[in-house]
Amino acid sequence: MAVHPSYLDYPLRKRGMDHVHYAFRRHGEHPRMVWPGGARVALWLVPIVEFFPLNMEDGPFAVPGGMGRPYPDYWNYTLRDYGNRVGLARVFKVLDARGLKASVAFNARAAERYPYWVDQTVARGWEVMAHGWDMNHVHRAEWDDEFEASLMRRSVETLRGLSGQPVAGWLSPANALSDNTTHLVAATGCRYTADWVNDELPYEMDTDSGPVWSMPLGHELSDIRLITGYNQRAEAWAEQVIDAFDFLHHEAGEAGGRVLALPLHPWVIGVPHRIGRLAAVLDHIMDRQGVWCATGAEILDAARGSNP
């Protein structure tokens, strides 16, 4: 047997990327980021509020946190729902106690079901971010373009209606996309997406609907990656966040503003034995000079202002 000759043909092998969304940009060759007050590190906290329906279908892949057991999977359903009842209350309390703010990413269905948390987010002057429809609707290539476009519009409009905010940020459920998703983010009127976890600083992307910015939410420091994915203890998560912060704080001294982004899943980080690690991490960070805790939209504005 042989491989098909096309397997040895490389039509996109040329300078730059193999897709349309951005050009190559090496770390260190971006514009110098200037944060308010000359801060070294922008701290971006992103609690993620998800709705995992009990009757979730088997999607294109096993969604982290999904219903992995036979219906009715009360085990997984209630563990996720715990986050939206108890865990998120603890996360908000830890942030409130330190005067910190957040961008809270909502599945539209979670916001509809628990408008309490949208109200709490708005009342604090924090940012509401869009996180798709629900965890049963991870974006996928098979979706009809118009279906995806309308689902994204509905997701963002639902949050706009509930929050009264413009809703500038998008994060796809389970970081899953179709080839159209990033084009459609711009079409919903969102200004940034957190889906492309390839950089540590904001950068501008091209889409069919105009520019949209990539914001560096990242994945490798996520509680869901380290604690549920790698079965690490909260102490290990905390150690790595602190190491990351210390490194970025140092690097920013010479190279300009940096971003430390922390995705926070309340069903993971909000349990009693872990929440103290979040508090300790934030104390470590806020004890240092030169930290600016901000929303995604604020960080984006500052990044764009750095490079007018």
Partner 1 sequence: MADLPWPIPPELRAEDPDLYYFNPYVDRPKIEWPDGARVAFWVAPNVEFYELHPPRGPARSSWFRPEPDVLHYGIRDYGNRVGFWRMADLLDELGITASISLNVAVLDHFPEIGKAMTDRGWELFSHGVYNTRYQYAMSEEQERGFIRHVAETIHRHSGQTLAGWLSPALTNTPRTMDLLAEEGIRYTLDLFHDDQPQPVKVRSGRLVSLPYSLETNDWTALHTTGGTPRQYAETIKAQFDQLYAEGAESGTVMCVPLHPWMIGYPHRIRPLAEALDYCMQHDGVWHATGREIAGWYLDHYHDAELSRLRGLAGDA
Distance CA(34)–CA(41), nearest Å, equals 10
Q: How far is the CB of 113 from partner 1 (least distance, A)?
A: 26
Name the residue nearer to partner 1 (CB basis): 3 or 123.
3
Q: Is 73 in the site for partner 1 (CB under 8 A)?
A: no
Q: Is 244 in the site for partner 1 (CB under 8 A)?
A: yes
Task: Tell me the helices (H) and strands (E) count for the chain, helix number first.
Answer: 11, 9
- Whether residue 251 contacts residue 200, with contact meaning beta carbons closer than 8 Å, is answered with no
Strand blocks (E) in 103-253: 103-106, 127-130, 169-170, 192-193, 203-205, 212-214
Residue length of the chain: 308
- Whether residue 195 contacts residue 177, with contact meaning beta carbons closer than 8 Å, is answered with yes
Question: Judged by CB under 8 A, which stretch of 81-89, 128-136, 190-198, 271-279 contacts partner 1?
Answer: 190-198
Number of residues that bind partner 1 (CB under 8 A): 55
Q: Is 228 in the site for partner 1 (CB under 8 A)?
A: no
Distance CA(136)–CA(4), nearest Å, equals 37
Q: How far is the CB of 116 from partner 1 (least distance, A)?
A: 30
Name the residue nearer to partner 1 (CB basis): 146 or 231.
231
Name the residue nearer to partner 1 (CB basis): 161 or 229.
229
Q: Is 58 in the site for partner 1 (CB under 8 A)?
A: no
Strand-strand pairing, 212-214 and 192-193: parallel
Neighbouring C-beta atoms of residue 208, cutoff 10 Å = 11
Distance CA(175)–CA(63), nearest Å, equals 10
Question: Judged by CB under 8 A, which stretch of 2-10, 75-83, 111-119, 123-131 contacts partner 1?
Answer: 2-10
Distance CA(60)–CA(55), nearest Å, equals 15
- Whether residue 289 contacts residue 22, with contact meaning beta carbons closer than 8 Å, is answered with no
Q: Is 208 in the site for partner 1 (CB under 8 A)?
A: no
Name the residue nearer to partner 1 (CB basis): 26 or 273.
26
Question: Judged by CB under 8 A, which stretch of 46-54, 96-104, 230-238, 269-277 contacts partner 1?
Answer: 230-238
Binds partner 1 by CB under 8 A, chosen from 151, 187, 236, 286? 236
- Whether residue 52 contacts residue 67, with contact meaning beta carbons closer than 8 Å, is answered with yes
Q: Is 6 in the site for partner 1 (CB under 8 A)?
A: yes
Binding site for partner 1 (CB under 8 A): 1-4, 6-8, 10, 12-19, 24-28, 60-61, 140-141, 175-179, 181, 195-200, 219-221, 229-232, 236, 239-241, 243-245, 247-248, 251, 260
